[in-house]
């Protein structure tokens, strides 16, 4: 309702009030950007240009690097600019936009990790059916499904927030716009909305996380009885995936599964969740993958 929304902009309180810590974080984020963002593009380039890397695993790995690189553009550049400016202001529309893309790409990435787990399950537990199940058409269909899933998840978040009246308080206690902090500023009782948010973000994150851990447990049990050569490779791949799952879903569960009381650790967790981990994920995958590493050296 337009006559409710008096708030045209939010003032971001940022990560911390200490100049020294701000400077440290600024340098850290900048280094991350300058090293790891090109790294992500290198992964995409390597996978696109090497005819030997056409397996579904690499197709999804390339998409993960793309998603992560895109995701890292949502919060970090704005944050770097804000570090250098006295007043950190974001418009109401800018805030909603940031929030939309955060959940669109974040949700898509969560679903992509589910798809990658499914891919590994078929490859390791049903090797004879692998080429028929994971054919190119199926891969594109899965890709479309995860983009759609991310979109639906995000639209629900945005719809819930657009319904809320904002009439005064506009100091947002974070360095970017996310659901928990924005909800707190609404001039109404937000209990129901918070519950819906926990169901949409928190439950989705938790279910994906538990489902993924279960699927990798099944794969590892299945591999346990097989020949040594394939076994070590499968275990290596699964371990990599599990590390990334913890990095990706751990902070998400911490932020979204509890009705929104602020914890001091929130901002630090958010920093890792929005800036540091996304850039690390593809790097972890790639450094643990011999084929991609060899292909990069050739490139």
* Residue-range domains of the chain with CATH: 9-298 (1.20.1070.10)
Category of 281 on φ-ψ map: left (φ > 0), alpha (ψ -120 to 50) or beta: alpha
Task: Quote the CA–CA distance of 25 and 36 in Å, as a whole number.
Answer: 16
pLDDT at 4: 55
pLDDT digits (tens, 9 = 90+) for 91-121: 999 999 999 999 999 999 999 989 999 998 8
Does residue 1 surpass a pLDDT of 50?
no
Higher pLDDT residue, 260 or 163?
A: 163
Residue showing tokens 């054919």: 135
Distance CA(65)–CA(80), nearest Å, equals 22
pLDDT score of 6 more than 70: yes
Tell which phi-psi region holds residue 39, choosing left (phi > 0), alpha (psi between -120 and 50) or beta.
Answer: alpha
227 pLDDT higher than 80: no
- Span 56-75, pLDDT tens digits: 989 998 999 899 889 888 88
Beta-carbon-side half-sphere exposure of residue 157 (alpha carbons within 13 Å): 32
Q: Above 60 in pLDDT, residue 148?
A: yes
pTM given for the model: 0.88
| Mean predicted lDDT score pLDDT of the chain | 85
């Amino acid at each position: 309702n337009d006559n409710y929304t008096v708030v045209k902009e939010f003032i971001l309180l940022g990560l911390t009030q200490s100049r020294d810590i701000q400077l440290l974080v600024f340098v850290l984020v900048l280094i991350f950007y300058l090293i790891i963002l090109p790294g992500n593009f290198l992964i995409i380039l390597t996978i696109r240009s090497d005819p030997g890397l056409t397996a579904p695993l690499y197709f999804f790995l390339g998409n993960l690097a793309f998603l992560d690189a895109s995701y890292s553009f949502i919060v970090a550049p704005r944050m770097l600019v804000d570090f250098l400016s006295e007043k950190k202001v974001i418009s109401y529309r800018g805030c909603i936009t940031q929030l939309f893309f955060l959940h669109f790409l974040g949700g898509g990435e969560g679903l992509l990790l589910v798809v990658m787990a499914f891919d590994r399950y078929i490859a390791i537990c049903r090797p004879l059916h692998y080429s028929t199940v994971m054919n190119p058409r199926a891969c594109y269909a899965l890709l479309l499904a995860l983009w759609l899933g991310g979109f639906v998840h995000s639209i629900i978040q945005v719809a819930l927030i657009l319904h809320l009246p904002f009439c005064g308080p506009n100091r947002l206690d974070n360095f970017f716009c996310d659901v928990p902090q924005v909800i707190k500023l609404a001039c109404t009782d937000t209990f129901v909305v918070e519950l819906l948010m926990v169901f949409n973000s928190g439950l989705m994150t938790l279910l994906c996380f538990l489902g993924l851990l279960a699927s990798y447990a099944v794969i590892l049990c299945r591999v346990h009885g097989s020949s040594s050569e394939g076994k070590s490779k499968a275990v290596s791949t699964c371990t990599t995936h599990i590390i990334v799952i913890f990095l990706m879903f751990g902070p998400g569960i911490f932020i979204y599964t509890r009705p929104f009381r602020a914890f001091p650790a929130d901002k630090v967790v958010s920093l890792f969740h929005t800036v540091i981990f996304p850039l690390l994920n593809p790097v972890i995958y790639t450094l643990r993958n011999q084929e991609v590493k060899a292909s990069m050296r050739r490139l």
